[in-house]
Amino acid sequence: MRTASGKRTKAENIYLPVSGRIEEIRKKTEDVSLFRVSTASPLRYTPGQFFMVSVWGAGEVPISTASLCEDDLFVEFCVRKAGTVTGAIHSLQEGDRLWLRGPYGNGFAVGRRANGDVLLVAGGIGIAPLRPIIQMFAKDGSAGSVTLLYGSKGPQDVVFMDEVQVWRSGGIDVILTVDRANCDWRGSAGLVTDLWHRARVDFSRATAYICGPEIMIKSVMRDLSLFGMPDERIITTLEAHMKCGVGKCGHCYSGPKYICTDGPVFSYKEIKEYSLLG
Amino acid sequence: MKSEWVLSKDHLSYWLRQLRNERELIGPLRDGGKDILFRTVDMLHEIVLECPSSLPSPKGFLFPQYEAMFSCRGLSLSDGSDGKREISDLRDRTRRVIFGVRSCDVSAVRLLDAFCLGKLRDPYYEERRRNTFLISLVCNNPDPTCFCLGLGTGPYLEEGFDIQMTDLGDRYFVQAGSPEAVRTVRAMNFFFRKPRKVDYEDQYEVFLSSKARFRKRINLEGPRQAILSGKVGDDFWQEVTDRCFECGGCSYSCPVCTCFTVTDRINPEGIERARLWDSCMFKGFTRMAGGVLPNEKRVQRTKRWYYHKLVHYPRTTGKFGCVGCGRCAVACPGKIDMARTATKIKGLALKEEVE
Ligand SMILES: Cc1cc2nc3c(=O)[nH]c(=O)nc-3n(C[C@H](O)[C@H](O)[C@H](O)COP(=O)(O)OP(=O)(O)OC[C@H]3O[C@@H](n4cnc5c(N)ncnc54)[C@H](O)[C@@H]3O)c2cc1C
Ligand code: SF4
Ligand code: SF4
Ligand code: FES
């Protein structure tokens, strides 16, 4: 690994971040922005993986890759302002430096949709790690069996509202819902779990990818399992307090698993087996 | 080739003085009162060998309570568009020799080696480990809290040490367990002589009498089985937890615990990124954005600590995450500790069998 000054360090240091340049910042909602970051050396990552992203002086936090790795030259992070470090990230401007190490984690093993339908369920900022999968299927073009159920707090909080049209024309059935609707809102109101009847999928043959608040993940997984979806095809990405991302700090340790290195993507089967969700 | 020698006690301080020429010498010293701490040795005669186990353990020389990882100069908090920035890696490269380490602590270092130098190598630990030479002493007189005997992690070791010394009264029986240890002894071979029959016999006797002196005879396999077979319910853990003050003393004093947190400090020279010991006994340890606390209840944290050491460690490494050093028994103000908990679990399991 190289340091920012380009000098080679003596031996590799798994904690040493590389510097990235913020090429573009797009404000998505009141507290969520999308950061497009480039690095000097090529990046290889897959959907569901994450980077430890840092601002010197503020600290380091895990952030999922929100883009599809296509030309190795950049990565996008969709960051919600939640506290100290994410706040510091939000105070940066285009052209500023963001420091990265990774990618870490197992990621989603998404195949092309050869066997069965695909159901994506997102809640709030949980759309971020699912976006590369959506982009992948939307680019694929072929019609049909990909459904996205996406719940947000209010109409102002739908993070990728500007991309929904693109996803739809890519053949994805996008169902939006909000907790609190207003008169301009054309989607549904209520929880994602109230909208199962709208999803045109064959539950017993489909694969689900879920990300959102823990409480949402729990009830979505339980419902899908009841509908006959096999537990190993109900897949989610778990959040945990993470300080290292490489299986050393112990913070994300849950059951016998390290969420950072064994996960963050787990199937309902594994979650039950290792009691990863309490 | 047998890498065994005998060192007369008269020669010990000369030898240590020689070792100190090349390395920083660390040893057990008395800290004012009764406490024993591993510290840099200035006066050789201040080393105390007839003493209870040190608190904290010597793990701090491989994994310090506070360790600076990087310094970053020329960066403002907002990390301006460009300009000179210099990140230095602050790995500690001091060469050290730690004298008077206990066998259980050497066993703990072996566990740390497996964890820190496994798939992904922790560079800070690796650098310190490479530069640290351990001289352990067989325990002739285990503390009342010690239970390494039941775990095979002490009072003496068959392998895995650098140099292991056994006190034979007027002399030490010296065993070298690594190529570097053999080199170290050979480089100053004028201090050592080859062992004779009587030295072997005396060493064997010391081993026997040491084993006989253990007051605690605890095996963790029984408790592990009891947990796995579902005999240990949440009410048991709740009882244990009721006495916990959430001070983290157990994790800090345990030579096997390695959880840490990372923090950035801003000082006039620049920014320092450092890591510090942390404890899974703290409520905020698993705090997530939005204030969700997965281990909010104290009982969940107690269980986590014990499950990690008694169930998960054996599952992934084949060894317990405890070496029986007894420090948690000394540190805990609530009188919760591995030995006591294991004994209670055993009682629980027995009771159930009788009923
Ligand atoms: C694998 C993974 C992927 C992730 N991907 C993304 C992503 O793509 N986008 C994204 O936005 N986020 C993502 N996150 C979440 C993100 O890492 C957290 O939002 C971030 O770590 C928050 O750090 P912070 O320093 O900004 O907040 P902190 O300052 O640590 O505070 C976080 C929250 O906790 C509260 N809090 C602070 N101190 C305490 C205390 N002592 N006790 C109780 N509550 C307290 C604060 O009010 C705040 O709401 C991901 C997390 C994981 C594990
Ligand atoms: S030392 Fe005892 S009181 Fe302190 S956190 Fe550990 S178990 Fe609880
Ligand atoms: S659990 Fe207690 S007895 Fe076991 S190694 Fe840790 S401090 Fe020592
Ligand atoms: S984040 Fe440190 S162990 Fe997983």
Instruction: Provide the 3-class DSSP secondary structure of residue B200.
Output: helix
Residues in chain A with pLDDT values less than 70: 1-11, 111-115, 141-144, 278
Verify whether the Cβ–Cβ distance B289 to A58 is below 8 Å: no
- Judge if A65 and A189 occupy the same domain: no
Instruction: Provide the 3-class DSSP secondary structure of residue B355.
Output: coil
Report the separation in Å between the CA atom of B254 and the middle of ligand 2, taken as the mean of its atom positions.
11
Chain B residue numbers with beta carbons less than 8 Å from the beta carbon of A86 are 289
Q: Cβ of A175: how many Cβ atoms within 10 Å?
A: 18
Q: Is the CB of B47 under 6 A from ligand 3?
A: no
Residue A144 located in a structural domain: yes
Closest CB to A256: pick one of B70, B87, B312.
B312
Q: Which of A56, A78, A104 represents a domain boundary (last residue)?
A: A104
Residue A2 located in a structural domain: no
- Judge if A100 and A114 occupy the same domain: no
pLDDT of the residue at A189: 84
Report the separation in Å between the CA atom of A242 and the middle of ligand 4, taken as the mean of its atom positions.
5
Verify whether the Cβ–Cβ distance B87 to A244 is below 8 Å: no
pLDDT of the residue at B351: 66
Share of chain B above pLDDT 70, in %: 92
- Judge if A23 and A129 occupy the same domain: no
Structure-block tokens of residue B332: 């805990």
Which strands make up the sheet holding B86-89, listed edge to edge?
A: B86-89, B66-73, B270-277, B260-267
Closest CB to A96: pick one of B69, B79, B316.
B79
Verify whether the Cβ–Cβ distance B294 to A55 is below 8 Å: no
Report the separation in Å between the CA atom of B70 and the middle of ligand 4, taken as the mean of its atom positions.
19
Report the separation in Å between the CA atom of A250 and the middle of ligand 4, taken as the mean of its atom positions.
5
Q: Is the CB of B27 under 6 A from ligand 3?
A: no
Work out the minimum CA distance from A141 to partner chain B, whole angstroms. 36
Q: Is the CB of B240 under 6 A from ligand 2?
A: no
Residue A241 located in a structural domain: yes
pTM for this one?
A: 0.90
- For β-strands B132-137 and B96-102, DSSP reports them as parallel
Task: Give A54's contacts (C-beta < 8 A, 6+ positions apart).
Answer: A17, A60, A61, A85, A98, A99, A100
ipTM metric: 0.87
- Judge if A99 and A131 occupy the same domain: no
Residue A71 located in a structural domain: yes
Residue A1 located in a structural domain: no
Which CATH number characterizes residue A195's domain? 3.40.50.80
- Judge if A263 and A144 occupy the same domain: yes
Distance CA A54, CA A50 (A): 13
Distance CA B220, CA B11 (A): 40
Residue A4 located in a structural domain: no
Verify whether the Cβ–Cβ distance A250 to B280 is below 8 Å: yes
Q: Could you list the pLDDT tens digit for every one of the 355 residues in chain B?
A: 469 999 999 999 999 999 999 999 999 998 877 789 999 999 888 888 887 888 889 999 999 999 999 998 865 544 444 445 678 899 999 999 999 999 999 999 999 999 999 889 999 999 999 999 999 999 988 889 999 998 989 899 998 899 999 999 999 999 999 999 999 999 998 999 999 999 999 999 999 999 898 888 888 999 999 999 988 888 999 998 989 898 999 999 999 999 999 999 988 888 999 999 998 888 878 776 555 555 567 788 888 899 999 999 999 889 999 999 999 999 999 899 999 999 999 887 666 655 5
pLDDT of the residue at B292: 54
Which CATH number characterizes residue A41's domain? 2.40.30.10
pLDDT of the residue at A112: 56
Closest CB to B286: pick one of A10, A58, A240.
A240
Domain membership of residue A87 as a residue range: 10-104
Instruction: Provide the 3-class DSSP secondary structure of residue B204.
Output: helix
Total domains in the fold of chain A: 2
- Judge if A207 and A183 occupy the same domain: yes
Residue A64 located in a structural domain: yes
pLDDT of the residue at B171: 95
Q: Where are the alpha helices (DSSP H) in B135-248?
A: 179-187, 197-212, 221-228, 234-241
- Judge if A129 and A87 occupy the same domain: no
Closest CB to B123: pick one of A11, A98, A241.
A11
Chain B residue numbers with beta carbons less than 8 Å from the beta carbon of A95 are 81
Distance CA B279, CA B320 (A): 19
- Judge if A55 and A143 occupy the same domain: no
Task: Give A186's contacts (C-beta < 8 A, 6+ positions apart).
Answer: none
Nearest atom in ligand 4 to the alpha carbon of residue A248 is 3
- Judge if A250 and A116 occupy the same domain: yes
Residue nearest to atom 2 of ligand 2 (CA): B332
Q: Is the CB of B280 under 6 A from ligand 2?
A: no
Distance CA B326, CA B331 (A): 9
- Judge if A152 and A247 occupy the same domain: yes
Residue B268 carries which DSSP code?
T
Distance CA B229, CA B131 (A): 44
Residue with tokens 């996960």: A263
Residue A166 located in a structural domain: yes
- Judge if A131 and A256 occupy the same domain: yes
Q: Which of A104, A130, A159 represents a domain boundary (last residue)?
A: A104
Report the separation in Å between the CA atom of B289 and the middle of ligand 1, taken as the mean of its atom positions.
3
- Judge if A212 and A187 occupy the same domain: yes
Q: Which of A46, A75, A104 represents a domain boundary (last residue)?
A: A104
Q: State the best of B79, B81, B92, B276 to mutate against chain A, taking most chain A CBs within 10 Å.
A: B79
Task: Give B334's contacts (C-beta < 8 A, 6+ positions apart).
Answer: B243, B244, B245
